[in-house]
Amino acid sequence: MCGIWALFGSDECLSVQCTSAMRIAHRGPDAFRFENVNGFTNCCFGFHRLAVVDQLYGMQPLRIKKFPFLWLCYNGEIYNHHTLRKQFDFDHQTKVDGEILLHLYDRFGIQKMASLLDGVFAFVLLDTANRKVFLGRDTYGVRPLFKFITDDGFLAVCSEAKGLTDITHAAESPANIVALLPGHFEAFDLKPNGKVQPVQMEPFHCCTEEPAHAVYDAVEMLPASCEDEAVRSNVRALFESAVRKRLMAQRRIGCLLSGGLDSSLVAATLVKLAKEEKLPYPIQTFAIGSEDSPDVLAARKVAAHIGSEHHEVNFTAEEGIQAVEEVIYHLETYDITTIRASVGMYLISKYIKEKSDSVVIFSGEGSDELTQGYLYFHKAPTPKAAAEDSVRLLKELYLFDVLRADRTTAAHGLELRVPFLDHRFTAYYLSLPEEMRTPKHGVEKHLLRDSFKDLNLIPDEILWRRKEAFSDGMMSVKKSWYVCLQEHLESMVNDDQMEKAHQTFPHNPPPSKEAYYFRQVFEKRYPGQAEWLSHYWMPRWADASDPSARTLALYTPDKDQ
């Protein structure tokens, strides 16, 4: 996890502009570097480092003797860097995983370079010999990247939008700050005056395609059988591989554990593989919730079963309400369900930073989108419609759950790892027959659960535990966290404001007082940037006015809660 920031063709003195780079200092608490580009006095890189791989040579922009004309700033982890290095016989100068980008780019060009990377990443690559600038972002946008470009070609890039909002430029018309699309790279020509000209924007990988790096993967190409046992075996093999490759770290690894299916599978597999790989410490797991919350009780059962060093963070509605403004600042969104779920994740990340030495944090994001885990999938009109919605959700993850997971952990200098969004695992799961992936016998994610049954990896009652939204499960069934939040915010927004909500906020008008309050806080921090969110996250095929699963007619609490 790091924070990257770069300017090409700045009109203002760089020493003034670089104060904006400090807005993302939380992403890299270990070191900071600010570097000008030789021969281009108005181009520079800023880098905040969280040291996880190669403590000695990991500072950026990364440059090596073999390619003195290449400058690389990237945030992420490339899990197959050793494999590719061996495969193509590259002569590496450092142990940094990102060095592989320089060798791949030199040999194959930008498109193939990006498609061969197995990992999560956002990068800025400068080639001064060919006068090119490239930006790229991983398939699901697990790592963030924002940019703006003015009419006259001043390009600014940053890991978070907050590092771009105060940058000054001489262009007459305002420059829109936009997120780089996941799974895409963008190319620019670099002019002698340091400004750029956009020349190409192309996808290099889509979630439904087998990734190009699969042919070099440790798990060989899988048999194409749709027999139940073969499929279950493949699901297990690819999931285990996804967790194993993410053990790449020189800092302590921990895991978020809500006691739901997804985080429990991640935590159990992580503990099992950590023992196999002989990691010199026990895996720490972290749960958050009120004392009688279903999540805390379930997580406790899982931790006892898998033998993790378990930590519980007590959550109160008052503490959550106090954190909302700060959470919205870090998130850069006003989406309702994203904010609700982020409060708990932000507070547990704060605890991990202050009370433990775990830095690399595993989590279960992506599973609900991939395996049709949301309760509304029970209402899908056809398996085809469900499969299409699953892909839509995966492509929009960067606006919602992946955004939440990145910003709430990065706010406290932690690095997130999400094995459910492994390229091979997701491509395989999406390639299975549509009927196979739908809810069965009234149980969502049936195929995933079925793949891990009779293994004693996690307790049976957890393996078959009903989906509970993280923002709901943190508090008791009697009173959800979102209800406490709504009750508190009821007095903060009056009826008159709600009546005029469509006029005040024509783009995504807030549907409730809670949403109105979130929007007010967002506008105070990021005025005029409402278009960063294209739409609110809402369930499909249900007449829903609220994103919480607990508001759906389908919802029935577990009997032991």
DSSP 99-115: HHHHHHHHHH-HHHHHH
Q: What is the pLDDT of residue 438?
A: 97
283 in the same domain as 147 = no
Beta 132-137 vs 184-190: how paired, if at all? antiparallel
In a domain, 164, yes or no: yes
In a domain, 218, yes or no: no
Contact call for residues 180 and 145 (beta carbons, < 8 A): yes
CA gap 168, 391 in Å, rounded:
38
183 in the same domain as 146 = yes
Q: What is the pLDDT of residue 54?
A: 62
Is 431 assigned to a binding site?
A: no
Beta 252-256 vs 284-289: how paired, if at all? parallel
Contact call for residues 161 and 146 (beta carbons, < 8 A): yes
pTM greater than the 0.85 cutoff = yes
151 in the same domain as 232 = no
Give Cα separations from 533 to 80, 159, 177, 322, 433 (angstroms).
Answer: 33, 17, 12, 24, 33
Summarised one tens digit per residue, pLDDT across range 282-311 is 999 999 999 889 999 999 999 999 999 999
349 in the same domain as 285 = yes
427 in the same domain as 477 = yes
158 in the same domain as 282 = no
Q: Could you count the other beta carbons within 10 Å of the beta carbon of residue 501?
A: 18
Is 97 assigned to a binding site?
A: yes
Q: What is the pLDDT of residue 15?
A: 87
Summarised one tens digit per residue, pLDDT across range 470-485 is 667 788 767 889 999 9
Check residue 168 and report its DSSP letter: -
In a domain, 212, yes or no: no
CA gap 518, 530 in Å, rounded:
12
Instruction: State the angle between helix axes of 228-245 and 423-431 in degrees (0 to 180), rounded to the nearest 10.
Output: 160
Q: What is the pLDDT of residue 560?
A: 46
Summarised one tens digit per residue, pLDDT across range 218-266 is 777 777 788 999 999 999 999 999 999 999 998 999 999 999 999 999 9
Is 15 assigned to a binding site?
A: no
What's the domain range around 370?
Answer: 227-489+530-551
DSSP bridge pairs for 201: 186
262 in the same domain as 120 = no
Which of 136, 168, 203 marks a domain boundary?
Answer: 203
- Residues whose CB is less than 8 angstroms from the CB of residue 404 and which lie 6 or more positions away in sequence, other chains included: 331, 338, 341, 342, 345, 365
261 in the same domain as 185 = no
CA gap 315, 289 in Å, rounded:
5
In a domain, 216, yes or no: no
Specify the CATH number for the domain of residue 463: 3.40.50.620
Contact call for residues 320 and 231 (beta carbons, < 8 A): no
Is 288 assigned to a binding site?
A: yes
Number of domains in the chain: 2
Structure tokens at 251: 């800092």
Under the phi-then-psi rule, with left for phi > 0, alpha for psi from -120 to 50, and beta for the rest, what region is 334? Answer: alpha
User: Which of these is catalytic: 2, 158, 207, 255?
Assistant: 2
Q: Which residues, given as ranges, of the chain have pLDDT below 50?
A: 559-561
> 158 an active-site residue?
no
Give Cα separations from 78 to 37, 278, 377 (angstroms).
Answer: 25, 22, 33
Is 339 assigned to a binding site?
A: no
Give Cα separations from 277 to 120, 203, 245, 273, 417 (angstroms).
Answer: 22, 36, 11, 6, 18
Specify the CATH number for the domain of residue 7: 3.60.20.10
420 in the same domain as 376 = yes
250 in the same domain as 116 = no
Q: What is the pLDDT of residue 478?
A: 74
3-state DSSP helix/strand/coil % of the chain, to nearest 5: 40, 20, 40
195 in the same domain as 231 = no
Q: 3-state DSSP call for residue 145?
A: coil
